[in-house]
Structure 1
Amino acid sequence: MEAQEFEFTENWDNEGMLDYKNDRTLNRYRELCKEQYSVDVSKYDCFFAFSNEQFAQGLKSIRPLKEGEKLVSIGGGGYGTKDGAKRLVEFCDNITERIKAECNPQEVYVYEYNNHECFFAYDGDLPVIKLIASIWGDETAKKIERKSAFYSLEHLFGKEE
C-alpha cells in the first residue's frame, strides 16, 4: 500500500486552525521536543531563577563552584557554569539536528502553526516560519506552503536573486 501524502486545510469552523492528515513524523517531533523541554538542567550545572530566592535554590542544585569561578547567563532567566552551559547548548543543538534529520518541515510548520495559534496572531505565521528557517534554513523555509503569511519571505530572508 502506497503511503498517502501529507495534507492540511484551514478549518473555518475552528477559527482557521489547520486540520491535517497522513503525517508521518509528528510523533517523532513531539518526542524530541518533549526530550528537550523536560531535560533536567541541573545535570548540566544550570538552573533558572526569577527571584533571589530561586537563584539561591538554583545555586544549591548544581555542583559547587570552583574558587574564582563565576556563573554565566544563558538567557531567559537561566544561569550555569561555563562548561555546563556549553554542554546544555550542545544537548539542545543535538535535538535540533535530530529534528532536522528525522522530521518533515511542512508537518512541523502545520503543527507549530496550530501550537502558536497563528490563526489568531497579529503577526500571522512569523514565529513558525522563523522556527522552520532556524532548523532547516532559509531555502527550505521558502518551500513551505504557508498560511496567514503577514510577512513575505523576501522581507524575512532578503531578496531572491
Structure 2
Amino acid sequence: MKNRFVHFGLVLLVIAAISAGVLGLVNNFTKTVIAANNEKSQNAAKREVLADAAKFVEEEAKEIDGLQFVPGYNDQGEIVGYVTTVASPGYGGDITFILGIKRDGQIAGLRIVNQSETPGLGAKIGDLSWQDHWIGKDASYEFNKSTDAFAGATISPRAVYTGIIKALNAFKDGGMN
C-alpha cells in the first residue's frame, strides 16, 4: 500500500511538472504578443488624443512629478503638444488613460486605456462622448458633479478628473507651455 502512494505521488509530480512547463512556455509566448498589442493600442490612443501630431518622440520625453510627457510633432517638425499616461485610483482599481495636452495647456483629448470600474456605473467613463467632453478644459477647470459625473457614480469620474488635474498642473509647473 505504501508503494502505491509513492507511485501515485510520482505520477502526480510528473503530470504537474509537465503542466507547469507547458504553462511557462505559453506564458513566454503570449507575454510578448500582449506587450506588442498594448503598445499598439497605446500608440493609437496617442494619435487620437493629439490628432495634430504626426509623430511622437519617446526619447525626448520629459519627466515631471512621475509623469512622462512625450512631445508630439507635426509634419513641419514643430511641437504641437504632449501626451502622457496617467494612472489614477478609481473604485475598482487604477484607471489608466492617455491625455493629450496642447502647448497652451488645454486638453486636446483623453482616452481611457484600462479600467475595471463597475459595469453600468463607473464603467461609463469608457464612453467616448464622456471622454471627449474634457477637450478644451485646462488646469483651472473645477469638477462639476452634474456634468462630469453619472447618476450613482462619482468616484470613477472624479478619479479621472484628479488624474487630469495632476497631469495639467505638472505640465504647467514643468514650464512646457
Q: TM-score, normalised by structure 2?
A: 0.24
Question: Which structure has the highest strand share of the two?
Answer: 2
Q: TM-score, normalised by structure 1?
A: 0.26
Greater length-normalized contact order (CA 8 Å, ≥ 6 residues apart): 1
If you compute each CA radius of gyration, which structure gives the higher value, 1 or 2? 2
